[in-house]
Amino acid sequence: MKKLFTCLSAVVLLSASGNAQTIYFEDFESSTVPALPGGWTKASKATTGWKSGSGKLEFTNGWMVKEHTKYAVIDDWNTNEANDSSVLISPVFSLIGPSSPYVAMDYYYAGASYSGGSPKETAYLRITTDGGTTWTNIDTLDGDGDNWQYTFKSLAAFVGQPAVQLGIYYHDGGDATKKLIGLAVDYIKVYNPSSNDIRFIAITPEKGSPKNFGVASSNLTVGGTVINYSSNAVTSFDAYYKAGTGSTVSSTLSSINIPAFTSYDFTCANPLPLPSALGTYPISMWVQQIGDVEATNDSNSTDATVVTFMPTKKILAEEGTGTWCGFCPRGAVYMDSIAKLHSGNFSLIAVHNNDPMEVAAYDAFMGTKIGGYPSMLIDRREELDPSDLFDVYNEQKDYFGYADITLTDVPANSFNYSLKASVKPAMDLNGDYRLALVLVEDDVKGTASGYGQSNYYAGGGYGPMGGYESKPSTVPAADMVYNHVARMIVPAVNGAAGSLPATMTAGSTYDYTFSTTIPQPYNRTKMHAVVMLIRNSDGVVLNSNNKTVPLGINNVAAGITETTVYPNPATDKTNIRFSLAKNTNVQVLVYDMTGRVVYSTTDMTYNAGANTIDINTNNLPAGAYTIKLQTGNGNVTLPLSVAK
């Protein structure tokens, strides 16, 4: 968030217009990180305790303090100190004279706790009038963990006091062995509200967001968040915005109602035209309200990147799980649910730990990225709980995917498997970008004891969980079926070095072919391939795609020794490659999802060895189909996808 105030150190500051009176203000911009600004003190058992910070502050459990220029913070997670009853104390200011003072404050706070509720962090905004001998709580801070929050509290009860101080109190639960998250505060303002005063706190899409991309010469929808700092409701204001040196666009927000001391999210009715040339452009935005007494906090900025097209985005979700983990049924339930409702938006992988389905290298990688089980990596960018998958869908389905990834089967013999990945970037990409292939299997079953699933949801003590509440505390192996199971990762968890050139041009296509062998115990008919595009500089997955693995195995009864369908997905045509043990009559039938035959060939004799049949898919609507190769002794069915 862009803040234009300069830190003011005077005890009493008066604004001359609109009956506004700023009594004390601190935005921490004068701080030399990690020191606190002049006049601020702290009381803490910790060595570090309260300090100033800037930029993002990340925690390995997925929480993050978002960009907020400079702020004061107590970082319990990364320092793991004894932040037991740690207080940040303001300089002294006077409340002699003001008639109805308020204190406003921005804060980031998760309100985190361990399972069972202990230890749990707590935070308060406090006030003292006797130099800290006694403190009064004026606000209990609410936990959110995803965004900065805002509080306003009346100080009318303290009017007339000559020596007032604020205290921001944080308590980490008092358990020195367990770390929690912490607390960050910013933009602390003690003031007499005026009749008109809005503050523009955030612009959307925010800078660095995966949503601030748009096609050349198209439009970008912008908006933001304002806070009403005044004592009256806000019923209208104007927003102005422009890209680079382009023309200013405006939207009027009218017929609205923003009560005093509340925030308001808005979307501008008129979109912002983007330039025709590729590149990243600064976007400036400001708001105007008639009679606004404080104009220095009414502007903000972000940027937008102009690209050639918007790639199809598929979110990569890698779940750390294990049959020994009693809470891991939660991961299975949410993975299956999101696959059923939004399969086209996700590539789903369950990475098993310490059970018969473990892939050692993949499991070791996950162990360095997650804090517990079950946990889920989203695009290797953040760690979340599997129960957050539907929130991920709502928030991230429109994230920019950087490049389209098209997957094409390549003919291969026996249990060999080859897949061509074609990458078409929507913007110029320079650096180390890599591709990785994961082979995933559904309907995995096993008879060994390690296939039984530990189940803490048994008996319903943790609420309903997809039927697991009605299953025993250890679900027998015979009753378990596992989906999305990672079987192989090729060639490595961080992708194939050199699989993509160091310089890629927007709109061009770059191919890389994976070749491997699928072990016979794996059920190839239940497998699909996931290919991910990795930015090696930070390990983030920019995009992914997935497709069904072709059968590629013998059907002795039918006399067919191997099969491949390519390209798949198909547009105008696809080819069926198959091998015969001897001269055999073969007919090809294509069925749609209703079981209706939409394409067929005549029954004719093909020679022993390799054969190819071309199928015209030009007239087939986009969708899923089934190909049947039928002989006099049996048949083989193969999946086909048609994309237009």
Domain ranges of the chain: 21-192, 198-307, 315-548, 560-642
User: pLDDT value at position 556?
Assistant: 57
528-559 pLDDT tens trace: 999 999 999 999 999 999 999 876 544 556 78
Please report the pLDDT score of residue 544 as a whole number: 98
CATH classification (class only), 560-642: mainly beta
* Burial of residue 208 (number of CB atoms within 10 Å: 0-12, 13-18, 19+): exposed
Q: Which two tokens stand for residue 377?
A: 């990596």
CA–CA separation, 256 and 365 (whole Å): 50
Nearest to 15 by CA among 155, 235, 189: 189
Identical fold, 21-192 and 560-642: no
CATH of 198-307 given 3.40.140.10, 2.60.40.10, 1.10.1840.10, 3.30.70.2740: 2.60.40.10
State yes or no: cis peptide before 374, omega within 30 of 0.
yes
Place of tokens 């900025």: 301
- Decide if pLDDT at 209 tops 80: yes
High-pLDDT (> 90) share of the chain, %: 73
Give the C-alpha separation, 114 to 124, whole Å.
20
pTM of the model: 0.76
Backbone dihedral angles phi then psi of residue 123, each to the nearest 5 degrees: -150, 140
pLDDT of residue 13: 38
What confidence score (pLDDT) does residue 16 get?
35
Report the greatest alpha carbon distance in the chain: 103
pLDDT value of position 2: 24
Distances, alpha carbon 315 to alpha carbons 36, 349, 387, in Å: 40, 11, 15
Residue 264 has pLDDT above 50, yes or no: yes
pLDDT band at 606 (very low <50, low <70, confident <90, very high): very high
CATH number for the region 21-192 comes to 2.60.120.200
Rg of the chain's alpha carbons, rounded to an integer? Answer: 30
Q: Which CATH number fits domain 315-548: 3.30.830.10, 3.40.50.300, 3.30.1380.20, 2.60.40.10?
A: 2.60.40.10
Residue 604 pLDDT exceeds 50:
yes
Task: Summarize pLDDT for 217-246 with one digit per residue, the tens.
Answer: 999 999 999 999 999 999 999 999 999 999
Residue 23 contacts by C-beta under 8 Å, 6 or more apart in sequence? Answer: 12, 13, 93, 94, 95, 98, 101, 190, 191, 192
